[in-house]
């Protein structure tokens, strides 16, 4: 049994608490820490069978009974808490991204060397049943060598301008999942990135210094071409689809919905809308990714997404930002210097 501490009890922290308590049988959460812990949150945590709450995350790091931590705090704390957890000898599951600063991510990479500690980055979509099926079709050779990869990711509604200002920008906040998915489905890293983007959803997002609609094209190192399309608003729900076209065939997945019922009448043919947002679509994936992390600790194997997997999508996001600014393709090695 692996004993966990959760750092951060906001939305994503609560998602992980729910996923662990309901889906991960070989782990137990001892303590949840959040600097903004209030009576309501503390009561919710304790109702999930967790006895200890605190505002000081260092209590978790000092606790010899806690084997591993989940870092679910705000993005600007991820790398610093990672370093503190490494010094404390804790295994680490860190929500994406580790940091927006490449130098800080590399500091974490260097601190991990020789420690034997497990480190996993929270790119939950790799554990979604649909995207796993696409990956399996590629790895098994059913579709031959990947040649074209298409990824669609559109949120049901835009975030607030206040959130946009602290998010790191759409490429590092939203598209970062799709950059990771491109690597996952292609089985290799990106070589070059070109980004088009616009403000078509909410002028306030533009005023906050970000974009809300984008098309990103990439050359992957295995020769495949990849296209990602993003939008901060899809009126019909959470739009999450992928396709890999290869030398022998094609594999594609559609959106999940509450049912696959199709109603056909004289007025037309109707299907269910996609599930509304990530909490509905990916809850099972959140449980599966932590289960994989816990298994890696118990079996002393590599985590499925190591610290380097936290670096590569950030490099892709920074390349996309540079491409958008300079109106040209940007090689990844221009960023990773």
Residue matched to tokens 């750092």: 7
Same domain, 322 and 177: yes
Residue pLDDT, tens place only, 198-208: 999 999 999 99
Cβ-based neighbour number of residue 185 at 10 Å: 26
- Higher pLDDT: 191 or 265? It is 191
Q: Is it the case that residue 279 has pLDDT exceeding 80?
A: no
The answer to whether the CB of 209 falls within 8 A of the CB of 165 is yes
Last residue of a domain, one of 117, 152, 177: 117
Cβ-based neighbour number of residue 45 at 10 Å: 23
CATH no. for residue 67?
Answer: 3.40.50.720
CATH no. for residue 135?
Answer: 3.30.360.10
Same domain, 251 and 141: yes
pLDDT (0 to 100) of residue 105? 98
pLDDT (0 to 100) of residue 269? 84
Last residue of a domain, one of 69, 99, 117: 117
Same domain, 201 and 331: yes
Number of domains observed in the structure of the chain: 2
Task: Identify the H or E element spanning 249.
Answer: none
Residue pLDDT, tens place only, 17-65: 999 999 999 999 999 999 999 999 999 999 999 999 999 999 999 999 9
Mean model confidence pLDDT for the chain: 95
pLDDT (0 to 100) of residue 258? 81
pLDDT (0 to 100) of residue 260? 77
> Region 207-228: what's the mean pLDDT?
97
**Which alpha helices (DSSP H) does the chain contain, by range?**
11-23, 39-47, 58-62, 78-87, 102-112, 129-139, 161-166, 170-173, 175-186, 203-207, 278-299, 307-326, 332-335
- Tokens found for residue 186: 């292609």
Same domain, 182 and 322: yes
Q: Is it the case that residue 15 has pLDDT exceeding 80?
A: yes
The answer to whether the CB of 70 falls within 8 A of the CB of 7 is yes
303 is a domain residue:
no
> Region 303-332: what's the mean pLDDT?
98
Cβ-based neighbour number of residue 260 at 10 Å: 9
Name the band, by pLDDT with cuts 50, 70 and 90, for residue 314. very high
Query: Is it true that the peptide bond before 60 is cis, omega within 30 degrees of 0?
Result: no
End-to-end Cα separation, the chain, in angstroms: 41
Residue pLDDT, tens place only, 237-252: 999 999 999 999 999 9
281 is a domain residue:
no
> Region 283-300: what's the mean pLDDT?
96
282 is a domain residue:
no
Same domain, 16 and 164: no
287 is a domain residue:
no
Residue pLDDT, tens place only, 296-311: 999 999 999 999 999 9
Name the band, by pLDDT with cuts 50, 70 and 90, for residue 184. very high
pLDDT (0 to 100) of residue 281? 78
pLDDT (0 to 100) of residue 38? 96
Rg (CA), the chain: 20
143 is a domain residue:
yes
Rounded to 5°, the CA angle 304-306-308 comes to 135
pLDDT (0 to 100) of residue 272? 84
pLDDT (0 to 100) of residue 275? 75
pLDDT (0 to 100) of residue 191? 98
Strand 52-54 and strand 190-198: pairing? unpaired
If DSSP codes are grouped into helix, strand and coil, which group holds residue 12? helix
Report d(CA 33, CA 57) in Å as an integer.
5
Residue pLDDT, tens place only, 109-144: 999 999 999 999 999 999 999 999 999 999 999 999
300 is a domain residue:
no
Same domain, 211 and 256: yes
Report d(CA 232, CA 153) in Å as an integer.
9
Same domain, 87 and 142: no
280 is a domain residue:
no
204 is a domain residue:
yes
pLDDT (0 to 100) of residue 325? 97
Same domain, 200 and 239: yes
pLDDT (0 to 100) of residue 259? 76
Report d(CA 27, CA 278) in Å as an integer.
24
Q: What is the span of the domain harbouring residue 225?
A: 126-275+313-335
pLDDT (0 to 100) of residue 141? 97
């Amino acid at each position: 049994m692996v004993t966990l501490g959760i750092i951060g009890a906001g939305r994503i922290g609560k998602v992980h608490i729910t996923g662990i308590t309901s889906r991960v049988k070989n782990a137990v959460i001892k303590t949840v820490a959040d600097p903004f812990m209030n009576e309501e949150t503390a009561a919710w945590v304790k109702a999930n069978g967790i006895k200890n709450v605190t505002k000081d995350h260092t209590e978790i790091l000092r606790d010899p009974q806690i084997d591993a931590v989940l870092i679910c705090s705000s993005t600007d704390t991820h790398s610093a808490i990672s370093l503190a957890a490494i010094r404390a000898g804790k295994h680490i599951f860190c929500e994406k991204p580790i940091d927006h600063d490449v130098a800080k991510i590399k500091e974490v990479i260097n601190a991990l060397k020789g420690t034997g500690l497990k480190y996993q980055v929270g790119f939950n979509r790799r554990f979604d049943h649909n995207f796993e099926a696409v990956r399996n079709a590629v790895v098994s050779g059913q579709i031959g060598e990947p040649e074209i990869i298409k990824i669609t990711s559109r949120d049901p509604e835009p975030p607030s301008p206040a959130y946009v200002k602290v998010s790191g920008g759409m490429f590092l906040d939203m598209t970062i999942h799709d950059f990771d998915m491109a690597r996952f489905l292609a089985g290799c890293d990106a070589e070059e990135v070109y980004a088009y983007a616009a403000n078509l959803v909410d002028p306030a997002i533009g005023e906050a210094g970000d974009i809300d609609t984008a098309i990103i094209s990439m050359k992957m190192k295995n020769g495949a071409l990849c296209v990602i399309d993003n939008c901060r608003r899809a009126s019909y729900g959470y739009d999450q689809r992928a396709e890999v076209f290869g030398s022998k065939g094609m594999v594609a997945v559609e959106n999940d919905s509450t049912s696959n019922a199709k109603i056909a009448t004289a007025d037309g043919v109707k299907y269910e809308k996609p599930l509304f947002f990530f909490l509905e679509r990916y809850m099972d994936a959140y449980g599966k990714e932590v289960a994989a992390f816990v298994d890696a600790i118990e079996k002393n194997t590599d985590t499925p997404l190591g610290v380097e997997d936290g670096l590569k999508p950030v490099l892709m996001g920074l390349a996309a930002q540079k491409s958008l600014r300079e109106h040209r393709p940007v090689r990844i090695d221009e960023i990773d210097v």
